[in-house]
Amino acid sequence: MVELSVVVPFFNVQAYAPEALRSLRANASPDVEFILVDDCSTDETPGILERAVRELPQATLVRHERNGGLATARNTGLDRARGRYVTFLDGDDWLAPGYYRDLLAAIRELECDFLRVDHVQCAARARTIHRVPHGRRGVVLNPRDAILPADTQTSVDYAYAWAGVYHRRLADEGLLHFTDGLRTAEDRPWIWRLHREARTFAVVGLLGVFYRRGVASSLTQIGDVRQLDFIRAFDQVVEETARDPEADRLLPKAVRTYCAIISHHLSNSERYERHVARKLRALSATALKRMPQDVLSYTLDTMDHERAARLRWLRRRPGLAAGPVEVAAR
């Protein structure tokens, strides 16, 4: 019987895929299956995956006929997963040997819906440990209680899908799939939904995922229109949270996070193509108008001066209008 399904999307990562695949082999066992999804790569990644799948136990290779983005690729893998538990890895990251053994042991012991873990961020030769922003560890808790406070980083801000493991019942309840077509911030509506609707979760101090930063093909390094999908993602967060029975309590956190992300993108707009920077300002101004205005006003009154001033300026710009956004293939 398959105990763990590992979903790994790949897109044009020929330089990094071999290391990711070697780390999967170092975590192979009879109860672990690997679902490798080639999201229509145009470099040497398909050949690397074809060779690897012959050597990797219990591995399945799925190819997209057209590029769909990370969210869609993860959904393709989820639809084929047979395990009692599910986890993710990105095709340019890698794992410590024996990591999945320890991950399974932790969630079996705690018997929760989902488990979150720390990770190691890697930029060139630098290594930095990033911890789940949640103080209580090794204790099963209600995930709704880890959303707040609004003005502090919490578990819901630690959105990395691969930094954890998830019980299959969440997939059966429709909580594990991502919003198809989102090309960035795809994990934000996903982690908010988990924290609002799952029953139990826990955090443990397990290190085993190595997250590679600064990859040239990553959307975090690209300044084109695909970056603007964060607006669709956070619109979804706010809309779904507004329908929650505890909307009055949770919306200030959702709106504050959305505002912080808008401010971050505006402060880095020089790295965007010029027409994308204009579109960013226009779409952000429209997004501010869609937010619950009383919650937005309170948020701006309680944010730091620099970010609040930037957003207030945008809020006062009635002339900013956004035309249709055409999203290029990833």
- Is pLDDT at 328 greater than 90 in this prediction? no
pLDDT score recorded for residue 226: 86
End-of-domain residue from the set 161, 195, 220: 220
pLDDT given at position 176: 98
Inside any domain, residue 15: yes
Structural tokens at position 78: 């989820």
pLDDT at 215: 58
Q: Is the pLDDT of residue 199 over 80?
A: yes
Q: How large is the average pLDDT for residues 83-103?
A: 98
| Residue where a domain terminates, one of 198, 220, 242 | 220
Q: Which of 310, 78, 54 is nearest to 171 (CA)?
A: 78
3-state secondary structure of 202: strand
pLDDT-derived band at 317, boundaries 50, 70, 90: confident
φ/ψ of residue 15, rounded to 5: -75, -20
| pLDDT for 94 beyond 80 | yes
**Do residues 201 and 62 both lie within one domain?**
yes
∠ CA 311-315-318 to the nearest 5 degrees? 145
Q: What is residue 320's predicted lDDT score, i.e. its pLDDT?
A: 60
pLDDT of residue 319: 55
- What does the pLDDT look like over 27-56, one tens digit per residue? 999 999 999 999 999 999 999 999 999 999
Angle at 71 between CA 254 and CA 198, to 5 degrees: 50
* Same domain for 183 and 129: yes
* Residue 10, pLDDT above cutoff 60: yes
Whole-number average pLDDT of the chain: 93
Amino acid sitting at position 88: F
Q: Is 320 within a domain?
A: no
* Residues 199 and 228 occupy one common structural domain: no
Q: Do 54 and 118 fall into the same domain?
A: yes
**β-strands 4-10, 85-88: how paired?**
parallel
The average pLDDT across 307-326 equals 73
Alpha helices in the chain (DSSP H): 17-25, 45-55, 70-80, 99-110, 168-172, 187-197, 229-242, 247-267, 274-290, 293-302, 305-315
Number of structural domains in the chain: 2
Considering the domain architecture, whether residues 191 and 83 belong to the same structural domain is answered as yes
What is the CATH number for 44?
Answer: 3.90.550.10
Q: Which two tokens stand for residue 137?
A: 């560890």
In a domain, 48, yes or no: yes
- The residue that leads in pLDDT, 311 or 271, is 311
Residue 281: pLDDT above 60? yes
From 187, 202, 220, give the residue that closes a domain.
220
Q: Show the domain range for 212.
A: 4-220
Q: Which amino acid, residue 134?
A: H
Report yes or no on 257 lying in a domain: yes
Residue tagged 């997004």 (tokens): 287
Task: State yes or no: cis peptide before 292, omega within 30 of 0.
Answer: no
Task: Determine the average pLDDT of the residues in 112-129.
Answer: 96
User: Does residue 328 form part of some domain?
Assistant: no
Residues 161 and 231 grouped into a single domain: no
Are 69 and 102 members of one domain?
yes
Please indicate, yes or no, if residue 323 is contained in any of the structural domains.
no
**Residues 142 and 34 occupy one common structural domain:** yes
Establish if 322 belongs to a structural domain: no
Residues 97 and 213 in one domain: yes
Say which residues have a Cβ less than 8 Å from residue 115's Cβ, sequence separation at least 6: 103, 106, 107, 164, 165, 166, 201, 202, 203, 204
Stretch 282-300: mean pLDDT: 97
Given pLDDT bands bounded at 50, 70 and 90, which one contains residue 214?
confident
pLDDT for res 28: 97
What distance in Å separates the CA atoms of residue 24 and residue 34, rounded to the nearest whole number?
Answer: 8
In-domain check, residue 167: yes
pLDDT at 1: 84
Q: pTM, whole model, 2 decimals?
A: 0.92
Percent of the chain exceeding pLDDT 70 equals: 93
Asked if residue 194 and residue 238 are part of one domain, the reply reads no
The reply to whether 214 and 253 lie within a common domain is no
Whose structure tokens read 């309590």? 249
* Residue 327 reports pLDDT greater than 60: no
Confidence band of 208 (pLDDT split at 50, 70, 90): very high
Contact present, 160 and 131 (Cβ < 8 Å): no
pLDDT tens string 154-170: 999 999 999 999 999 99
pLDDT at 318: 59
Q: What is the mean pLDDT of residues 92-100?
A: 98
